[in-house]
Amino acid sequence: MIHLTLIIVDFLTGLLAAGAWALASAGGAIAAVVGGGLVGASLFRRWRRKS
């Protein structure tokens, strides 16, 4: 019985870790897209001012 409990706890811990990692990865990707868009907009504005 103890072994089964340990397996279940280990499985749930793994799911939590995987979920946290997936959220962090998605958050990083979203931040990269938003950051890239802001940098692109800034560069585009500078380029238009010079023209």
pLDDT along the chain (51 residues), means of 10: 86 91 88 88 85 68
* Distance between CA atoms of residues 11 and 17, nearest Å: 10
Residue for token digits 């380029």?
47
Quick one: tokens of 33?
A: 């897209």
- The pair of structure tokens assigned to 6 is 């340990």
This prediction's pTM: 0.50
Rg from Cα positions in the chain: 22
